Structures are given as C-alpha cells and as structure tokens.
Structure 1
Amino acid sequence: MKQLLAFMLIPFCLAPLLLYSSEKSEWSNEMQYSLISNVATDAFYFDKIPNNPNLYHSASSYKDSNLTAVSHTIKPNSKITITGMIINDNLIPVFVLSDGTYIEASHQIIYDDIVYSQEKVDLDYWLEEDFKVYNQPLVYGSKEVKSSLTSYTQIHLTEKAVTEQGVYYKVSGKGWISEDYLSVTDNRMKKIQNLLTQKYNQPNYSIFVKQLNTQKSAGINENTKMYAASVAKLATLYYTQEQIQDGKLKFTDKLKYISEVNNFKEAYNPSGSGKISKTADNKEYNVENLLKAVAQNSDNVATNILGYYVAEQYDKDFQDEIDALSGMKWDMKERNISAEAAANMMEAIYYQDGKIIEYLSSTDYDDSRIAKDISVQVSHKIGDAYDYKHDVAIIYAEEPYIVSIFTDKASYDDITRIADDIYAVLK
C-alpha cells in the first residue's frame, strides 16, 4: 500500500510549483525547472543527452516542444539522433531530435544503451543451443558476427560486461555471448539426448548413457527390459570383487568344480560360452582365474562356480544388494534387465576400481560392438542370446561415462554405430 501511495504521489512531486501572479514570469523555463527540480524529478528525467539512446518500448515523437501534436512513432532499436535538450512551457525536459521533432526526456521511455560495467575474467563455460555471437556486448549498434563455435562445446571466457540487455561474456578470440546461452557445467548430455531421440528412438533399442563426474544421463527406452544374457554376469563380478575387498575372499582362494555348480536354479547352461570344461572335472580353480574367465571370455561355468560358492547360489544377501545397486529386481534366473539397470551395475564396478576393470578392458570381444572403434580404454561386458545383442561399457574419455546398449534383432555394427556417435560428442 505504501508503494502504491508513493507511486500515486509522483505526479504531484513532479508538477511545477508556480506562484500565481497577474504578471507573466520573466524567468526562463530552464530557470524555473532548476528551482522545482528535486530527487524525484532527477530520477524521472534525464539531465543530459545520453551517449547511445534507445527506447524501452515504442513511443511518440511530437511536432512541438510542448508535446501536443504527434509526429510519428519511434520503435526500440531505431536510430535516434538527439541534437539538443530543452525545458518546455510545461517545465518538462524534452529532447530535440535531428528530424526537428521532440520526445520527452524520460527515463521511463529512453535509456542510455551503453556498457554499464566491464571486467576481466578467466572462466570455462559450455555453450548452449541457439547462441549468437556479437562484435561487442549487446547494445544498440552491436552486430552479430559469424563464428566457428558450436553448441555443447567448452569455451574460455576472458571478459564480462553488463548492459541493459543483460550480462555478456567475451569468448577468447571469437566475440561476445549472452550468459543465457552459457552453462557452468558440462551440458553435452543434452546433445546426447537429442541424438538418441532423433536418430535411435526405435522400439528394438534400449540405450542409456551417463557421465560419471556430472551424474547427468540420457536415454531412449532405457527402462525397457530385455533378456540380458551374459550382461547379468555383471552382478556376479561385482559381488565377488566386493567379497575380496571386504577381506572375505582372496584371489588365490580355490573353488572346486563339482556337478552341483551347474545345477542350481540360477545357473547358466554350461554348454554356452567359455573355455572351461562343460562337465564337472572336480578340479580346483582359483578365484582370480574364474573372474578373468567371466570378464574376458564370458565363461558360463566360471560364472556358475562363483555364483555357487561366493554368492551362495544368489542368496538373499546377494539379491538385496544387487537390487539396490541396479535399481530393479535383478533376477539371475529370468535375466530380464533394462539398459539403465545394467549401467548402474557397471557404475558400481567402476567405483570399486578393482581388477575386474582391467579384465573387462581386455576381452575376446574388443574388436566388435562398443569397443571396436573407440581409441581410449573401454571396459565392457557383452551379452548374446537368440535375437538379443547387448554391450555395456565404461568409456575412459577425458570425462569417463557409461554407455549401455541393448538391442533386439539388430547387429553388432548397429551397436558400434551408436557407440561411435555417442563417443563423437563425449570424447
């Protein structure tokens, strides 16, 4: 209410305080204005000609200095040349324009479109979409310039400036960009999401990508469950590594290959992938070799031995922990898992930072799927069964990320192409 009252009183504060007399005053308009001016009038009207005048909104110019006969409308960002400033008969400051018309010299209509402040900075930001580059901080007269800069890339900023239009930063050697199109944090996952949505939004693809440092992610059908095949072995690898790191198990511990390891309900078919004998040989295998066999050869028997002895046939302790880490019911028998859940398990392995990472970086499948064309370290786990072909990987780019690609009725080359497109953005 107080603010409203103050606003309503402004016209009275600005009105000329004239003494009534039967004689015409011999004082000039300027002299009279100087007598009545105060803080309110100074805030409302200009006291000098602005260097680079611009309009907040469309306004009228007048044929006469008393502002009674409209000449034409002036729009914002129009060329305005002010040649003088007078006080009219109503004791209102008026600008004289180069075309001989007049406009009220009000701060509510006109502003001085200049750089208010400027300072040196040393910052690294990321570009958003639809940015524009200017030859100077945006004021009237600034020009857009062509640039080689691209969205979702990191840039170095050397100066900061404030204008009526906002805050602008100078990109080293390129030009000035509004802060509205700059991101303090890595924003490349937006580009990944656009890529997945525009190019790979197909029902037979389930894809999830996550940057490990920023924890930002993108996906398409990422919660769709598919038969995961050997990707489900990530849980066995994680749990075994955890037992080692907790001191409950050693790499040198030996586990005996008996027939029972292939016959509990969650066991893989021993006739599947791998090099260990398909039938129990009653030999002892050390834990390290079993882990290598699972990670590098996707060995079904090695998985069964670890599942039988280390995970206690995937008992409740195992199940509760893996479900919590993956974010879903990780069924080691049905093995219906989503790309995001598989990525979550791979992320848990990443944070373990154990030998499994090394084993997953040198597998029998490095010349196909995700790892085929990528030049940096790739730790990955594949899965194949029926029409399903999958791969889940940690990509050790400058900013490591996880990519999980599940497919139905697709090829290894399809997985490679998806992985390459993602790497082109995040490398």
Structure 2
Amino acid sequence: MSNTQEELSSEALPSETAKEVQEEPGPSVTPEEAAWLDEQIASLGGGVSVYYKSLARGDTYSFDDETEYYIASVVKAPYALYVYQLADAGTVDLSQTYTYESRHRLGGTGYLQEQPVGTQYTLAQLLEYTIRYSDNNAFLMVREAVPTDGFKQFVRTLGLLHENSMDSLGEGAAIRGNICAHDAGIIAEAIYRYAESGSPNGAKLKEDMLHTEQPMLRSEYPMARKLGSWEGAMHDVAIIYAPEPYILAVCTNRGHSYDSWYVESDYEPFLKISEWIEEVSQNEES
C-alpha cells in the first residue's frame, strides 16, 4: 500500500510513534559563501591557491587549486606517511640506527645541524625531526635509509591530479618536486585517515604535525600541519580539528630564500584565509 505525504506526517501518526523529521545538513560552505570567498581571495592578488574539504560533510571549496608551485618542505609529510606505513607492514625498522655524517649537514631549518657529527639516531627519531622541526638534515638521512623510488610509486596511489609531481625527488641533498593546493589537500586527508586508523605510527605522525613550528595558518582549534617555503614558494597544509574538522591547504608564490627577507605581507594570505574559511565552515546555520 502506498503512503501519501499526509499519511507520513507526524500528525497522522499516534503520538507514541511519531518521529521528528530531520533535514540533511547542507554543505559547510554554501554557494553564496563560496562566491564571497572567491572575492576575498582574489583581493589578495595573484599567486594564491586554496583547497578546503570538510571532513564531516565531504564538501569542498577551491580557488585556483590546480596551479603548481615548488613543493619545498611540504614533501616531508607524504614521505613520513610512506615510511610509517612501511613500518606498519614490517618492511622497515624504525629502531634501526643511522650515523649523522658531515655530508648530511645542510642549511635551512632543523635540529641536527647543531649536533655533533658521528651521533647516531634511530629512523623513528629522524622522522620526528623531519616533521616536528622540518629538519633538512634528518630528511636527507631518511631518504638514504628508505630510498625515493618506492616513494614515487606510493605517491601514485594517493589519487593526486599531478601524480608525477614528485618524480624528480632524489636521494641527494636537494628537495625537488611540485605541489598544487588540491594535491596538498589530498595528501593531508590521507594523513588524517591514517592518523585515525588506530596505528601507533599514525598517532605519532599526528602528534608531530600538531607540534610543527612556525605556523602560518591560524585557528582556535588544534592543527596538524606541514609548511614549506623557499624562493617563490610558501605553503601551509593543515588538518584542523574543529567541531566540524576540515582540511585547508594554502599554496602561494610569496616565499624567499632567506628567513630575514620575509615581511608581514607574505603572511597575510594565510592569516586572512584561515579566518575566512573558519568563519564559513563552522557556521552552524550552513
């Protein structure tokens, strides 16, 4: 027997069986809010790309998210994800020790460059320094311990738009490769899923990303994040653990080769986009 809308209404049912009809929640960013975001981000000038995804509702927002930039230290996050998953499978041993040698001493950010040559570190320690301090020296040692060829194949399993964007990364000192905001967001979501999988290594990766230094994106909520910056590249990619958690990746061309060259305006896109995205995505009326 078919039922009409009137027969299904709560008034037509006995009070003891009536159920409240709940509407499905709409997107966290409405079309009107997306249009407003477009205007605000465009006002920041060129060379700014954004990817957002609600981890609660699944909707996305993007602004010029397919433009590629030099990847800089953002590459360290998917590499750590790769190594930790190998450790889960028993392919690599995180307790294996490696010796810090003079050829590992690079410039840039880090912890190891101030430590004495000849010190030994476990692979687990090197991964922690790679993520928590964005240590270039530790990252070079990680790539020697777990070569890049397997990583390049791993990247192809993530569903990136530009799956060959990190093919130029090698075992030498230089960090090579490109990233777009969309693919940075896909990587962040893969890390989020892994961190929530119950793996102790996933929990460790999340812990270190929660304590990453030099934040550019801002939030009143905890953020598991990875930044990268160099000449023509300044990026921050975050998992924001808000009441409705979300991914936010902001990639720009605002970067410089030396820390002393950065000025307040270089950080402006990150600060403003953080505020705008949080305002609309956590709006209870959406």
TM-score, L = length of structure 2:
0.76
Task: Answer with 213-222 or 115-124: which moved more.
Answer: 115-124
Q: Which has the higher contact order (CA 8 A, sep 6+)?
A: 2
Query: What residue in structure 2 maps to residue 320 of structure 1?
Result: 153
1:405 aligns with 2:246: no
Contact 2:79-2:151 within 8 A present in 1 as well: no
> Map of 1:233-272 to 2, 5 A cutoff?
233-258=76-101, 262=104, 270-272=106-108
Question: C-alpha deviations, 1:148-187, integer Å up to 9, x for none?
Answer: xxxxxxxxxxxxxxxxxxxxxxxxxxxxxxxxxxxx2431
Secondary structure of 2:154's partner?
helix
* Matched-pair contact (CA < 8 Å) for 1:259–1:279: no
Q: Does 1:204 align with 2:39?
A: no
- Between 348-357 and 249-258, report the one with greater CA deviation: 249-258
Which residue is equivalent to 2:28?
A: 188
Q: Distance in 2 between matches of 1:393 and 1:195?
A: 22
Q: Could you say which residue in structure 2 is the equivalent of 1:358?
A: 207
Q: Which amino acid aligns with 1:339?
A: A
> Separation in 1 of the partners of 2:155 and 2:67?
18
How far, CA to CA, are the matches of 1:418 and 1:203 in structure 2? 14
The AA in structure 1 aligned to 2:266 is S
Considering only aligned residues, what root-mean-square deviation do their CA atoms show, in Å? 2.4
What amino acid does structure 1 have at the position aligned with 2:80? L
Shift of 1:207: 0.5
Match of 1:273 in 2: 109
Q: How does the TM-score come out when normalised to structure 1?
A: 0.52
Identity of aligned residues (%): 24
Structure 1 residues 284 and 413, CA, compared in 2 at 3 Å: closer, same or farther?
same
SS across alignment from 1:188: coil
Match of 1:122 in 2: 20
Match of 1:231 in 2: 74
1:330 equivalenced with 2:165 (yes/no): yes
What letter matches 2:210 in structure 1? S
Q: Which residue of 1 aligns with 2:262?
A: none
Query: Structure 1, residues 23-48: CA drift from partner, whole Å, max 9, x if none?
Result: xxxxxxxxxxxxxxxxxxxxxxxxxx
List gaps (5 residues or longer) in structure 1: 1-114, 126-183, 263-268
Relative to its length, the structure with more strand (as a share) is 1
The alignment of Structure 1 onto Structure 2 pairs a total of residues equal to 241
Counterpart Cα distance in 2 of 1:258 and 1:305: 9
Structure having the higher Rg: 1
In 1: Cα distance, 2:92 partner to 2:143 partner: 14
CA displacement, residues 277-327 of structure 1 (integer Å, 9 cap, x when unaligned): 2799233211222122111111101111111112x1x11x22121133151
1:132-153 per-residue CA deviation (whole Å, 9 max, x = no partner) reads xxxxxxxxxxxxxxxxxxxxxx
Shift of 1:273: 1.0
Match of 2:185 among 343, 360, 364: 343
Q: How does 1:153-168 map to 2 (within 5 A)?
A: none
Bigger helix fraction: 2
Measure the CA separation in 2 of the matches of 1:405 and 1:282. Answer: 38
Amino acid at match of 2:180: S
Paired letter, 2:57: T
Matched-pair contact (CA < 8 Å) for 1:369–1:416: yes
Residue 375 (structure 1) aligned to one of 208, 216, 220: 220
| CA distances 1:212-246 after superposition (whole Å, capped 9, x unpaired) | 24332110110000112111212211111111221
Superposition pairs of residues 145-160 of structure 1, within 5 angstroms: none
Show the 5 A alignment for 1:291-302.
291-302=127-138
Q: Is the 8 A contact 1:212 1:399 kept in 2?
A: yes
